[in-house]
Structure 1
């Protein structure tokens, strides 16, 4: 009964620790107007987040060999080891999992003619560290990853002839996992684990003071969620915001100067006869200066970008003989090419919807295309590639 209570306590502790980490990762900072805090953002440091709670979960199933290091005579005995794991990557570098293992352990004691067969089941709570991502940077499509781990758990011997009773222990363990990416949803892995526990597990209290089960297994991992981790550059976003704030301050200063001036007396009106010159039609075939930027993984036009959509609408009203091409893009640093193509089309559709429904532009004057991430209009600044770009063209 005490053993069951201990296992329940360990399971609750693992679930609580994961919930705390998950909730911390999903928190959104809200800054009130009365209390503004300034956070120093390091240039070039990319952060990652998981768009959905269901992403980055996985299950693993494997089998291999194991040996029992205890009081033993003769050669080491190897038996079948079976493993099942349920885990989640909290960040691209740190993950947690619950790993269940079991099988039969063989040992020769007290001489080479007597072999004991001990059946057992063990549950470990492991902390995973993706060493490859930590040293080489996060890459969802990396083929080989090296992942050390450490854990604590409980082990239960339900058939132990040496002790002639049921036994249990609370081992600590370390190990190494090598992951081979087969696809977006499936990996192959090789894993080695060694645990350490007190001498009482096999029922022979002599010889070795520490007993250990060493195992090597291989198997498959099935990963859940369409997306993995999404990158964002807080420094680049901060620079854009600072630039907009500086522009607002400049406009405020100019407005104050204008308001402080006294109006000069109005001159008398003079009748001037001017020669009427026919206005040369404006060339429609040109790239328009306005662009609409989007946040990562978003196709929603923000309030800050609405002014650029408004400017395009006004240009189209002043130039009724011109049409507009609306081209959507996505940055190639995040997402797959297929996903980015769909996202770029959604961004173009969002802009077209505002032009037609809010500003009354005839839909026949607008042409739309999604360029995806194969073409990057701003190769030197990846954050600017999440845009919609306008270009004028003559109406047919």
Structure 2
């Protein structure tokens, strides 16, 4: 009677509490962020900074040029000949390097003949160093290879008069144009000049500028080492993706923390429930509800069961034993006194017949698990199973069936066929190394399968023992 009163009172309080709750409107719309991990990890197409290039390394953008043309000497005093009457042949050789798309330097040698103030033909040599400025260098910030090249230059050097031995200081200047024929060859045209003191040709005042050497040459320039310039990649997209990935990692870490807490609470709840059932005497009745959790711990791997091997050894030693333990029945009779398939049990006879015909394996299969996309065992301790299988197969002359498999969730069908075959080959070779005859081993492969969960469980080789 007391229990009924307590129950009615509790129900009444519950109904009263529900009646006191005032209905309120709640916003049921929630923002959920979803991330496509595969999209985040895809390579980004690089974008480039406008007008920015990467500086050249020491072995890049060197050049050697050779050119030939004509030279006219305009001295003080000038003499009576016009410009075209003063033209004489000349040549030039140069070696240099471009430090940036705009700035370069070179060392140039030129010379041959010129007509002095008396129109006498003389020989000269001109060695000078120049600084070049490519006015079209900005084109490299938009493309790696540029066809046209226009570079004014200026420099200093020495002029040498082969007859009178004068070696005066000279200022060089001019403009050079190039057209790129191929990656390493360009055609060039150069208009240059050099100004030195008036007494270079032996006529005029000392220490006063007044003699000029004008040259027009054409030739080829050969590029050495790395050619061209690398455009600077804009890092902004990569920075944004990294920030996005960091946020994603933080979000996943928070989810894992919540799930770990929930899992811990669920485990404690199950432990308390088992205690309650044990106290109430109901644990045996409901123990099957906890078996999966204890046995698999969240993973459904097929388990190696060695009871079949143990039963086989006992049966081979005791030909009349039906496989049941002598301790299960009454008394303490030995296994030799128990008849084979007592009472002519139909299922027992059928099992023995199928086993003797090789259609049924002895005991349970033994599984060997492999690493992803390899024929390497996940754990070297599995070789202990190989030792025991080989020992039993050799001792009793048993046939061995080896079946390889791969995970169908990863890899193509052709890859999985090859992989499952290689896993079967590996186990077969290991058994042969342990003394099992090769003609006793039958190898097959299943390719990719999805029979077990999680997917890792499908990466295995199954071994079964047969009488035939």
TM-score, reference length from structure 2: 0.44
Between the aligned partners of 2:167 and 2:59, the Cα distance in structure 1 is 35
Choose which of 101, 121, 127 in structure 2 pairs with 1:92. Answer: 101
Contact 1:133 1:139 in 2 (8 A): no
User: What are the within-5 Å matches in structure 2 for residues 49-198 of structure 1?
Assistant: 49-50=55-56, 53-70=58-75, 71-74=77-80, 75-76=82-83, 77-109=86-118, 115-134=119-138, 137=141, 139-159=143-163, 165-198=164-197
Between the aligned partners of 1:171 and 1:324, the Cα distance in structure 2 is 78
C-alpha offsets along residues 237-268 of structure 1, whole Å, 9 cap, x if unaligned? Answer: x5314532452255246536865868534344
Contact 2:69 2:90 in 1 (8 A): yes
Q: Structure 1 pair 64/363, CA: closer, same or farther in 2 (3 Å)?
A: farther
User: What secondary structure does 1:200 align onto?
Assistant: helix
CA-CA distance at 1:128 after TM superposition: 1.5
Q: Structure 1 pair 95/248, CA: closer, same or farther in 2 (3 Å)?
A: same
Q: Structure 1 pair 324/139, CA: closer, same or farther in 2 (3 Å)?
A: farther
CA-CA distance at 1:131 after TM superposition: 1.4
| Structure 2: 5+ residue stretches without partners | 1-47, 275-285, 290-371, 375-405, 423-446, 449-468
| Structure 1: 5+ residue stretches without partners | 1-41, 110-114, 160-164, 273-311, 326-354, 356-360, 366-393
CA-CA distance at 1:135 after TM superposition: 5.5
Q: Structure 1 pair 258/364, CA: closer, same or farther in 2 (3 Å)?
A: closer
CA-CA distance at 1:324 after TM superposition: 9.3
Between the aligned partners of 1:318 and 1:78, the Cα distance in structure 2 is 85
1:266 and 2:265 equivalent?
no
Instruction: Give the number of equivalent residue pairs.
Output: 241
C-alpha offsets along residues 9-48 of structure 1, whole Å, 9 cap, x if unaligned? Answer: xxxxxxxxxxxxxxxxxxxxxxxxxxxxxxxxx9545423
CA-CA distance at 1:203 after TM superposition: 2.5
Q: Structure 1 pair 63/245, CA: closer, same or farther in 2 (3 Å)?
A: same
CA-CA distance at 1:100 after TM superposition: 0.4
CA-CA distance at 1:63 after TM superposition: 0.7
Q: Which has the higher helix share?
A: 2
CA-CA distance at 1:81 after TM superposition: 1.4
TM-score, reference length from structure 1: 0.51
User: What secondary structure does 1:127 align onto?
Assistant: strand
User: What are the within-5 Å matches in structure 2 for residues 258-297 of structure 1?
Assistant: 259=257, 263-264=264-265, 265-267=268-270, 268=273
Partner of 1:333: none
Contact 2:116 2:201 in 1 (8 A): no
User: What are the within-5 Å matches in structure 2 for residues 207-218 of structure 1?
Assistant: 209-218=209-218
Between the aligned partners of 1:120 and 1:46, the Cα distance in structure 2 is 43
CA-CA distance at 1:189 after TM superposition: 0.6
1:225 and 2:198 equivalent?
no
Contact 1:120 1:156 in 2 (8 A): yes
Q: Structure 1 pair 324/166, CA: closer, same or farther in 2 (3 Å)?
A: farther
Q: Structure 1 pair 227/78, CA: closer, same or farther in 2 (3 Å)?
A: closer
Q: Structure 1 pair 209/246, CA: closer, same or farther in 2 (3 Å)?
A: same
Partner of 1:205: 204
Higher RCO (CA 8 Å, separation ≥ 6 residues): 1
Q: CA RMSD in A?
A: 4.0
Partner of 2:23: none
Partner of 2:412: 323
User: What secondary structure does 2:246 align onto?
Assistant: helix
User: What secondary structure does 1:134 align onto?
Assistant: helix
Contact 2:139 2:146 in 1 (8 A): no
Partner of 1:391: none
CA-CA distance at 1:67 after TM superposition: 0.9
Between the aligned partners of 1:324 and 1:204, the Cα distance in structure 2 is 93
Between Structure 1 and Structure 2, whose CA radius of gyration is higher? 2
Contact 1:129 1:147 in 2 (8 A): yes
Between the aligned partners of 1:59 and 1:228, the Cα distance in structure 2 is 15
